[in-house]
Structure 1
Amino acid sequence: MANTITFEKPRSSVLGLIAAPFVAIGKVLVLIAEASPKVRELERLNSISDAELARRGLTRDGEVRRILGVSAAI
């Protein structure tokens, strides 16, 4: 197994300093979205195989529509 180590460049440029607050806000928004119960339910659905869903008499599309409700049609 190979490990990859990545290093972020120091933000010493003016553009990097200007972008830093927006990057931080973006990361916070992603964390908030990932904490949503709907997102957690979709992640659980993704961990279930199509065969298991079929065994339960469900379809992935139907489950997505159930989880997202009206917003699935958008």
Structure 2
Amino acid sequence: MAALRSVGRFFVLLAETNSRVKAIEHLNTLSDAQLAERGIKKREDIARHVFRDLFYV
């Protein structure tokens, strides 16, 4: 049963990561002004913004 739970967690992680990648791709299409409206001052902060609930940097 533990192996099945691990596989399930893997697929959840995979799905969450995919949505985060899509969010990063979307934010990269925005202008600098639009990013600033969302509180993102520099383009290099996009990934940090998307993953802010998982990592503290």
TM-score, normalisation: structure 2: 0.45
Q: Which has the higher helix share?
A: 2
TM-score, normalisation: structure 1: 0.37
Task: Specify the structure having the higher radius of gyration (Cα).
Answer: 1
Greater RCO structure (CA 8 Å; 6+ sep):
2
